[in-house]
């Protein structure tokens, strides 16, 4: 009976039992109209004994599935019910195979068929059939757009999570990583649509960067010609430079292949590094061709440093991750130790190293300002204001990789013409000017001891016992305060290692050219004193060896003291027009403005409030020019009385003085002890 055509089919024909399937909804979903159905009412065991099919085999369902897909390349109706039935059937059949190797082989075979025929269905209007490897379980449409499929849609899964493991075995990806991104870029390249490529790769590069930052990037072969250059070529990473400096790109962009990026390189710096792209600036050597080089007076430099320190506080509020990265790279220390120099003209040569023996050379590049990262120095031309946009642009490189992020903020601060205006700008961003020189303090952890561990003493014994004064110390000559030894490694002088050696007295005169005056009398000081014994020095906090201004102020304060005057440091009081107030025992007042230089003295500037104070005080107003503060130098003081009378400002309108030697009334030279 099994080989006879006696079973009556639903279509009225007679069929062999093995050629007919029991008419059930599931069988219709699995096989469609490709087989014959019978509606026999009998026990399932009896039907099996007769040979009538109750369910199909894997191969039969797969064959029907391929046929169905060919006949329905873009079904308009939602077919999830049918597809879900097929996938669940295939999963259950594969799971029922007891032998692991046989099961693995069966899944591998199904996977090959699904991949070749694109048999994963998604109910989408644009495309319904997909390779499993082109579908992600999670919704990443914000990155890959319509070029990939997603099981999740609007927060809901199209298929049950019970199918997830089976789909993953077929090649579906739960979360795309580097491999999937690179395959995606290869597909973009094959499409040949450069505009589409540029539209999508910004999202892909950003996603790759996040994967790498999270440490999820497996070992990857990046060596593929899938990365788009600005010239429209697809190249490998080691063939592409990425631009981290707009100026270098301007000069070398036509000579190199530059990676096309729609945003700043800093947005994807981890990706660029991991893939092996070439950083443009790292291969450029800068040859400086300057004229006379003069250090910019420390007070103006401090205004610069003050604004740079404000950027740190800005980042602390606005971009904590970037702030932390810069802190780890020592940016705070670089800011505090920044040096500023002026030269008549800035001329540079750029040498780019390539695979060729000879570098690509750009000669005689003229700039208004140049920041040397290696030297931690900012250079500006004589015609350029230190607090100007070109300088702000250069100094933004201090905050690499966030230079593009901070430039606008820094340039805004450079535009402030007074402390009040600067304070107003900072308050807008929630920053106070007093916070621009933060000191990182770390308090030691203190443990409260158990009661029995603390030795209690009577109150009378808790008072500190002071040693009696030794007889030989009674008449000892007053000395500069002795401070604890300080660790080496600083680049500025230690004021405790110097005493004032001699004083040269000069006669100032009014002369525009500013020819240096000649000393009319030189006084040799005995052990740093002008021959008057018994003067005491006020103890003060030790000055930082990294703070040139503090060292200069300390030297001036000490000189005032040995001259018998009583100085009061007021440099932290804003807009009063001077740094130190000094008076004699006869109450004669002196107002001292201190200008300082690490090296030789050069041009200094009197701010409007300083100039106004000088106009008011006349002969009671002094400018103390302190130079030679660099380690290995010998400090010197040059004193100018009544600058309004003797000094002629440089043009045009700022009160800058490059020729000021004619106004010097006294030069004090130090010696090391």
What does the pLDDT read at residue 673?
Answer: 83
Integer Cα distance of 235 and 233 in angstroms: 6
Q: Give me the long-range contacts of 155-161 (CB less than 8 A, separation at least 24).
A: 158/80, 158/122, 158/123, 159/80, 159/84, 159/87, 160/84
CB 431 within 8 A of CB 422: no
What does the pLDDT read at residue 511?
Answer: 63
What are the φ/ψ torsions at residue 42 (nearest 5 degrees)? -160, 170
Integer Cα distance of 321 and 266 in angstroms: 13
- What kind and span of H or E run contains 562? helix 548-562
Integer Cα distance of 210 and 208 in angstroms: 5
Local mean pLDDT, 10-residue blocks, the chain (673 residues):
75 84 92 88 71 88 96 93 96 94 95 96 95 96 95 92 96 94 95 91 95 84 95 96 94 94 93 95 93 86 90 89 91 90 94 88 95 94 92 94 91 87 86 52 46 42 42 40 42 88 88 65 68 56 77 94 92 89 92 93 89 95 94 93 90 76 91 87
What are the φ/ψ torsions at residue 84 (nearest 5 degrees)? -65, -40
- Of 616, 603, 593, 613, give the one whose Cα is nearest residue 648: 603
User: Does residue 634 have a cis peptide bond before it, meaning omega lies within 30 degrees of 0?
Assistant: no
What does the pLDDT read at residue 130?
Answer: 96
CB 397 within 8 A of CB 373: yes
What are the φ/ψ torsions at residue 234 (nearest 5 degrees)? -100, 120
CB 661 within 8 A of CB 515: yes
Fold topology of 495-672: Trna Endonuclease; Chain: A, domain 1 (3.40.1350)
Write the DSSP symbol of residue 172: -
Which of helix, strand or coil describes residue 513? coil
Integer Cα distance of 436 and 422 in angstroms: 12
- How far from 527 is each of 58, 631, 670, CA to CA, in Å? 105, 22, 11
Tokens describing residue 92: 């259950």
Tokens 């085999």, located at residue: 57
Which of helix, strand or coil describes residue 327? helix
Tokens describing residue 353: 């190293």
Write the DSSP symbol of residue 417: -
Spatial CB neighbours of 314, under 8 Å, sequence gap ≥ 6: 406, 409, 429, 431
- Of 345, 326, 296, 355, give the one whose Cα is nearest residue 549: 296
Integer Cα distance of 160 and 137 in angstroms: 11
Integer Cα distance of 651 and 279 in angstroms: 42
What does the pLDDT read at residue 658?
Answer: 83
Spatial CB neighbours of 457, under 8 Å, sequence gap ≥ 6: none
The segment(s) of the chain belonging to CATH 3.40.1350.10 are 495-672
Integer Cα distance of 304 and 152 in angstroms: 53
Half-sphere exposure of 121 (CA within 13 A, CB side): 23
Measure the N-to-C terminal CA separation of the chain; round to a whole number of Å: 123
Write the DSSP symbol of residue 350: E
Integer Cα distance of 435 and 421 in angstroms: 16
Tokens describing residue 642: 């009544």
- How far from 364 is each of 117, 281, 374, 567, 673, CA to CA, in Å? 63, 18, 21, 50, 47
Q: What is the CA radius of gyration of the chain?
A: 41
CB 371 within 8 A of CB 410: no
Spatial CB neighbours of 445, under 8 Å, sequence gap ≥ 6: none
4 C-beta neighbours (distance < 10 Å), count: 10
Tokens describing residue 205: 């590069």
What are the φ/ψ torsions at residue 462 (nearest 5 degrees)? -80, -15
Integer Cα distance of 288 and 589 in angstroms: 47
């Amino acid at each position: 009976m099994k080989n006879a055509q006696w079973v009556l089919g639903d279509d009225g024909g007679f069929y062999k039992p093995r050629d007919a399937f029991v008419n059930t909804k599931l069988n219709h979903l699995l096989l469609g109209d490709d087989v014959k159905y019978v509606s026999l009412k009998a026990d399932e065991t009896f039907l099996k004994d007769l040979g009538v099919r109750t369910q199909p085999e894997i191969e039969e369902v797969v064959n029907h599935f391929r046929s169905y897909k060919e006949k329905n390349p873009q079904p308009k109706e939602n077919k999830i019910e049918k597809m879900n039935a097929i996938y669940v059937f295939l999963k259950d059949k594969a799971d029922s195979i007891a032998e692991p190797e046989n099961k693995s082989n069966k899944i591998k075979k199904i996977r090959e068929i699904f991949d070749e025929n694109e048999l994963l269905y998604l109910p989408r209007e644009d495309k319904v059939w997909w390779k499993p490897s082109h579908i992600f379980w999670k919704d990443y449409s914000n990155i890959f757009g319509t070029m990939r499929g997603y099981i999740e849609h609007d927060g809901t899964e199209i298929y049950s999570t019970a199918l997830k493991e089976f789909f993953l075995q077929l090649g579906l990806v739960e979360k795309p990583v580097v491999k999937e991104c690179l395959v995606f870029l290869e597909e973009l390249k094959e499409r040949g649509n450069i505009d589409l490529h540029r539209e999508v790769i910004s999202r892909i590069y950003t996603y790759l960067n996040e994967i790498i930052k999270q440490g999820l990037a497996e070992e990857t072969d990046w060596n593929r010609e899938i990365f788009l250059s600005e010239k429209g070529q697809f190249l490998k990473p080691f063939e592409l430079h990425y631009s981290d400096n707009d100026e270098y790109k301007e000069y070398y962009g036509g000579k190199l292949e530059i990676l096309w990026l729609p945003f700043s390189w800093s947005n994807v710096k981890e990706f660029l590094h991991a893939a092996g792209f070439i950083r443009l600036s790292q291969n450029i050597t800068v040859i400086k061709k300057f004229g006379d080089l003069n250090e910019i007076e420390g007070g103006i430099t401090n205004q610069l440093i003050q604004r740079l320190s404000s950027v740190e506080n800005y980042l602390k509020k606005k971009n904590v991750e970037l702030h932390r990265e810069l802190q780890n790279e020592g940016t705070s220390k670089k800011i505090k130790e920044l040096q500023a120099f002026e030269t008549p003209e800035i001329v540079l040569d750029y040498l780019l190293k390539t695979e060729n023996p000879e570098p690509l050379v750009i000669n005689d590049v003229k700039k208004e300002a140049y920041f040397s990262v290696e030297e931690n120095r900012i250079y500006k031309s004589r015609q350029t204001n230190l607090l100007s946009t070109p300088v702000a642009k250069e100094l933004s490189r201090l905050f690499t990789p966030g230079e593009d992020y901070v430039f606008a903020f820094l340039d805004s601060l450079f535009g402030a013409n007074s402390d009040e205006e600067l304070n107003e700008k900072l308050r807008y961003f929630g920053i106070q000017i007093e916070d621009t020189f933060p000191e990182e303090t770390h308090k030691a952890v203190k443990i409260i001891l158990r009661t029995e561990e603390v030795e209690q003493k009577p109150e009378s014994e808790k008072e500190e016992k002071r040693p009696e004064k030794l007889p030989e110390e009674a008449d000892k000559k007053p000395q500069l305060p002795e401070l604890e030894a300080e660790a080496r490694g600083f680049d500025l002088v230690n004021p405790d290692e110097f005493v004032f050696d001699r004083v040269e007295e000069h006669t100032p005169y009014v002369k525009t050219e500013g020819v240096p005056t000649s000393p009319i009398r030189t006084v040799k000081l005995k052990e740093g004193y002008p021959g008057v014994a018994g003067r005491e020095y006020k103890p003060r906090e030790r000055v930082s060896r990294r703070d040139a201004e503090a060292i200069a102020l300390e030297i001036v304060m000490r000189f005032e003291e040995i001259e018998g005057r009583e100085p009061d440091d007021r440099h932290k009081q804003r807009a009063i027009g001077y740094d130190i107030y000094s008076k004699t025992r006869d109450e004669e007042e002196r107002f001292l403005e201190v200008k300082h230089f690490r090296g030789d003295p050069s041009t200094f500037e009197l701010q409007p409030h300083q100039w106004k104070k000088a106009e008011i005080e006349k002969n009671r107003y002094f400018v103390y020019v302190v130079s030679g503060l660099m380690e290995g130098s010998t400090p010197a003081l040059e004193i100018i009385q009544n600058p309004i009378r003797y000094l002629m400002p440089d043009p045009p309108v700022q009160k800058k003085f490059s020729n000021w030697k004619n106004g010097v009334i006294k030069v004090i030279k130090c010696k090391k002890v």
